[in-house]
Structure 1
Amino acid sequence: MESPSFTLNQKMIIAILALLQFTVILDFIVISPLGDILMKKLDMTTANFGFTVSAYAFSAGISGLLAAGFADKFDRKKLLLFFYTGFIIGTVFCALSTNYTMLLFARIFTGLFGGVIGSVSLAIVTDLFVIHQRGRVMGVIQMAYGASQILGVPLGLYCANHWGWHSSFLMIAVLGVLILLAIITQMPAITKHLELQSDKSPFLHLWHTLSNKNYQIGFAAIALLSVGGFMMQPFGSVFLVNNIHISQEDLPMVFFLTGLSVLFIMPIVGKLSDKVNKFKLFTAGSILSVIMIIIYTNLGPIPLWQVVVLTMIMFMGIMSRMVPATTLNTAIPEMKDRGAYMSITSSMQQIAGGIAAVSAGFIVHQETKSSPLENYDILGYVISVLTLFTVFLIWRVSQLAKRRENAAKEIEI
């Protein structure tokens, strides 16, 4: 089937959502490259740092569940503005933190707002774009991850190396304010879903969505999909600096080139996702991911260029899973449940990720602040097994998506 082209208004929405995701993703992933600096400056153990990462995830998951019942009761634009404003305030609090406890609570506050933004954005995409456009839309939005690696992380590290780690969060907050103004002035109200509401109580609506057996498969699949990233990324910079002996000054280059590979692969994966079998594409990405994760987590000191090449290939595999999986998942909920479904999905993803980050903090170990990170290879094996199990769950999601699409075609006929 030929994929429909985008209108000018749709292109504007895609650009806004991509920029929005850029700041939200950057706020989360910048913690990882700052990990070695934060652990030394704020005197944190690996377990402390795991809790700092997971604090955002747990609070995001809880707020997502609380917001799920209300997600389909309001104009999606207004919801986006409310949560994005809170996210910016939380990021400023992170910048003002002076010790581990303050940073921990600031991450909790930021997660309460930031964790809902992704689900609202996905609901907007599902409302405004048909299924045969969503692969390309998700490809562009997922490019925010690559862009944050290319532009945001290196810039954040540069700021941290020259003006202290606090400046990295201030940079994100300033950019967030500019994007907030773009949402206010350029995004239209999104209220079509309000015409289809039947449940009077937000909590009844939440229960209706949670208890749907088909929806539960999607929740489990997307939640497990996030576990690998939450386990591996928080200690990425610690591993690079202390095990592979990459200097703090060279870290921006590693993240820049990794992001460049993601930025290159995302549009290709997005187009493929609209043209070929999404499950097969996901499976291919999963196999590549497992191979590269096992190789990467067993590395010792090697030249910088080899680290860059291996990291680029690994992230190509990881990100090649995200677009087809997310696109398939958007086909499962009915329009009247989309906001709640996406919010619960995001919550399950964040909570599972929080558990993963805490678990990783206890699996890996570091004797001193400059000694090699231990048990990172074991972490790689655990992630690989979970990745293969995710393939089965996404297969179940793909079967549900086919059924929904066939049922929609029969109604049209």
Structure 2
Amino acid sequence: MPFTGYQKFVIFILAITQFTVILDFMVMSPLGDMLMKSLDLKPSAFGVAVSAYAFSAGLSGLLTAGFADKFDRKKLLLFFYIGFIGGTIFCGLAESYAVLVAARIITGLFGGVIGSISMAIITDLFALQQRGRVMGFIQMGFGASQVLGVPIGIYIATLWKWEAPFWMVAILSIFIAIAIAIYLKPLTAHLALQHDRSAFAHLWHTVSKRDYRIAFTATALLSIGGFMMMPFGSAFAVNNLGVNYNQLTMLLMVSGVSSLVVMPIIGKLSDKINKFTIFAAASVWMMIICVVYTNLGVTPLLIVMALNIMMMIGIMSRMIPSSALTSAVPEMSDRGAFMSINSSLQQIAGGIAAAVAGMIVTQKSKGSPLEHYNTVGYVIVVISIISIILMWRVYKLTIKKPHYSKVEPAAAEMNEML
């Protein structure tokens, strides 16, 4: 099923929006070693700085879930994106650990909801058989942030200070917000389906559904597995694998390029092949690479690059089919609330993962190797096995849906308008 011209624009604007939100979060990891040395932080303190964003994003999603289906999705996206820009500017102004944590909390309160609003828009406008490709393109923001954003961020951080990358994100986001305001059409088809009188009733109505809770749990566990390695990835590469800052930039770029190549391919495959099969195979692949990588000592750069590429393939091959499957679970009338709660649990779980990783990983002194990082790898393996079981249950739910092979009403209506 081909995309219309307007659908292509929606994919692009949501992808570049995701790029800025992901970059704002992702840049914390490569700046980790620089931040810990600059602000004299222990791994546990840095873990709190990373998880502050995630916890506040999770709280924000829960607070807004009841309202998520009661407003035009375009207006919601703009409101939270403008708040995200403000929080990012605050990060650029931070000059102490306490202010940085406060700034990350504010950024999370707004930025954490943007992904769920984008998912609701995607599910409104695209049929399930298109969503694998859409997710593949949207998730390219993840790879693009590593190819373009993170290396540039590290470069300007070394030229100036660690705050500089946040200013870069804020300036770019302002232009994107203007494009959203001018070109994105209102999305209001879901408003005619609302029956709950209050926001709390709508929130409870969504949470109380058993099928939804299965999807929520699967998403939370996937996030725990994904977030545990990320905060200390750059510190592990520098202090354990023997990668210097110039090589770190190259390493991130190579990993990002690989994800940009892989994601559209995985998106197309997940629309043609069983989505759960791809997810399960990718999970097993990622578990193997994860155990190998976290047990490495000083390693040649080419081997580190190869393992990072293989790990990125596994991560992306899990994210795309799992997102597409989860998007098929909610009814249209619950979609905004479902996506908000799902995103909240994802962020909260990620925050817990980052904080727990901070308690597991230790470092005797500045520049010394991180210890117990391999324990994090083993924990991820256990969580990934449970995730496969839960995603199987989500898959069974999606194939029972009456709209499994049909175009969504909002998508059909939009196509007729165009």
Counterpart selection for 1:37 from 34, 38, 42: 34
Cα distance in structure 2, aligned partners of 1:279 and 1:296: 25
Listed one character per residue, the Cα deviations across residues 43-98 of structure 1 (whole Å, up to 9, x for unaligned) are 11111000001000000000000000000000000000000000001001101111
The answer to whether the aligner puts 1:94 opposite 2:84 as a matched pair is no
- The equivalences for 1:68-147 within 5 A come to 68-147=65-144
Counterpart in the other structure of 2:331: 334
Distance 1:53 1:407, change over 3 A: closer
1:208 aligns with 2:208: no
Deviation at 1:406, TM superposition (A): 6.7
Q: Aligned match of 2:238 in 238, 241, 244?
A: 241
Which structure 2 residues correspond to residues 284-323 of structure 1 after superposition, within 5 A? Answer: 284-323=281-320
**Contact preservation (8 Å) 2:129, 2:405:** no
Question: Could you tell me which residue of structure 2 aligns to residue 401 of structure 1?
Answer: 398
Cα offset, 1:408, TM superposition: 7.3
Question: How has the CA–CA distance of structure 1 residues 163 and 406 changed in structure 2, closer, same or farther, with 3 Å as cutoff?
Answer: closer
**Where do 1:243-262 residues align within 5 Å?**
243-262=240-259
Query: Residue in 2 aligned with 1:266?
Result: 263
Query: Deviations 1:251-286 (Å, cap 9, x if unpaired)?
Result: 110000000110010000000010000000000110
Residue 146 of structure 1: SS of its match in structure 2? helix
* Counterpart among 17, 21, 25 of residue 28 in structure 1: 25
1:70 to 1:374, Cα distance in 2 relative to 1, 3 A: same
Structure 1 letter corresponding to 2:135: M
2:176 to 176, 179, 188: 179
Label 1:407 to 1:255 Cα distance change in 2 as closer, same or farther (>3 A): closer
Label 1:407 to 1:375 Cα distance change in 2 as closer, same or farther (>3 A).
closer
Offset at 1:405? 3.9
Unpaired runs of 5+ residues, structure 1, are none
Tell me by how many angstroms 1:248 deviates: 1.3
Asked if 1 retains the 8 angstrom alpha-carbon contact of 2:128 and 2:405, the reply is no
Tell me the residue number matched to 2:160. Answer: 163
Count residues in correspondence. 408
- Aligned-pair distance for 1:249? 1.8
- Where does structure 2 lack aligned partners over 5 or more consecutive residues? 410-418
Aligned counterparts of 1:223 and 1:143: Cα–Cα separation in 2: 21
Distance 1:335 1:373, change over 3 A: same
Q: 1:408 and 1:285, CA in 2 relative to 1: closer, same or farther beyond 3 A? A: closer
Cα distance, 1:164 vs. partner?
1.2
Greater shift after overlay, 270-279 or 222-231?
222-231
Alpha-carbon separation, structure 1, partners of 2:329 and 2:352 = 26
The one-letter amino acid paired with 1:291 is I
2:63 corresponds in structure 1 to 66
Helix, strand or coil for the counterpart of 2:185? coil
C-alpha separation in 2, matches of 1:310 and 1:343: 34
TM-score, normalised relative to structure 1: 0.97
Residue 91 of structure 2 aligns with an amino acid whose one-letter code is C
**Partner of residue 380, structure 1:** 377
Question: TM-score, length-normalised on structure 2?
Answer: 0.96
- State the distance in 1 between where 2:178 and 2:357 align: 38
SS of the residue aligned with 1:404?
A: coil
Q: Is 1:231 equivalent to 2:228 in the alignment?
A: yes
CA distance, structure 2, for counterparts of residue 405 and residue 327 of structure 1: 16
The root-mean-square deviation of aligned C-alpha atoms, in Å, is 1.2
